Amino acid sequence: MKRFDNRTVIVTGGARGMGASHARGFVAEGANVVIADVLEQEGRTLADELGDHAIFSRLDVTSDRDWAATVAAAEEAFGPVSVLVNNAGIVRFGQIEETEPAVWRQVLEINLTGAYLGIRAVVPSMRKAGGGAIVNISSAGGMMAYPNNAAYVASKWGVRGMTKTAALELARDNIRVNSIHPGPVRTLDDGRAGRRGGRSGGGKGFGDSARGRAL
C-alpha cells in the first residue's frame, strides 16, 4: 500500500518546476492529483503524462471563482480533497523605496492571499474527507530577512504566520497545516515571471516553489 492511495491532492503552480515535481511524487505514492496552474498547455501535458491519476484545472490563485471551480473539479474527478499544496508564487526584486505599490500588492496578492484563498476553498472538502493536510510553501525568506526583496519576504513571513493560525483553527477538524521553508532551488524560467498561479524569476536565487525559483 502506498502512502497516498486514492487520496485527492491539489498542487498549485503544478505545471512545472517544483510544482510538477510535487505532482509526480504524489502520483508515484498512489494519489490522484489536480495540477492547478495558469499555464494551460504545460499543465495539460503533465496531466497527460501522469495518466488517469491526474487532471489539469486552470487556476489563478487570486480568483475565488477559480478556486471554487478547481475544488469542484477535484471532487468530481476523484472525490473530496485530502491534501492541498499551496506552491504557487512569484518574486520581485528591488529596494523598498524603488518598489512600486502595484508590484508590492501583486506579490502579496499571489503569495499570501492566494494561499489564504486556497485554505478557505478546500476546508469544506477536507471536512468531507474526514481530515487532511495543507502544505504551504513559504521560503527561507519567511524565517529571515533579505535585502532588495521586501515584498517577497513580507509575503513569506505572512504565509508562515497564517499557517500557524490555520493549524490552531483546523486541528479540531483533523486538518494539519504546515509550512515548508526551502532555500534556493534551480527551476525552469521562460521569462514570463509573475504569471498568477505560476512562478517567477529565473535560474537560481529567491523565487518560490514556482516557475522560476524556489526558496
pLDDT digits (tens, 9 = 90+) for 45-86: 999 999 999 999 999 999 999 999 999 999 999 999 999 999
State residue 196's pLDDT score: 40
What is the chain's Cα-based Rg? 16
Residue 2 lies in a domain: no
Residue 207 lies in a domain: yes
State residue 187's pLDDT score: 72
State residue 184's pLDDT score: 83
Does 146 participate in catalysis according to the annotation?
Answer: no
Structurally, the chain folds into a number of domains equal to 1
State residue 16's pLDDT score: 94
What whole-number percentage of the chain has pLDDT above 90? 83
Residue 105 lies in a domain: yes
188 pLDDT band, cuts 50/70/90, is low
187 beta partners: 203
> Measured between alpha carbons, how far is 34 from 8 in angstroms, rounded to an integer?
8
Which structural domain range is residue 120 located in? 8-214
Residue 175 lies in a domain: yes
State residue 192's pLDDT score: 37
Residue 1 lies in a domain: no
Give the chain's length: 215
CB 37 within 8 A of CB 86: no
> Measured between alpha carbons, how far is 139 from 95 in angstroms, rounded to an integer?
19
pTM over 0.75: yes
Residue 88 lies in a domain: yes
136-181 per-position pLDDT tens digit: 999 989 999 999 999 999 999 999 999 999 999 999 999 999 999 9
Q: Which of 56, 104, 152, 206 is catalytic?
A: 152
pLDDT above 70 (res 89):
yes
213 beta partners: 186
Please report, as a single letter, which amino acid is at residue 6: N
Residue 162 lies in a domain: yes
Q: Is 35 helix (H, G, I), strand (E, B) or coil?
A: strand
Cell of 128: 468531507
Helical H segments across the chain, by residue range? 17-28, 40-50, 64-78, 101-108, 114-129, 150-170
CATH number for the domain harbouring residue 21 = 3.40.50.720
3-12 per-position pLDDT tens digit: 999 999 999 9
Residue 83 lies in a domain: yes
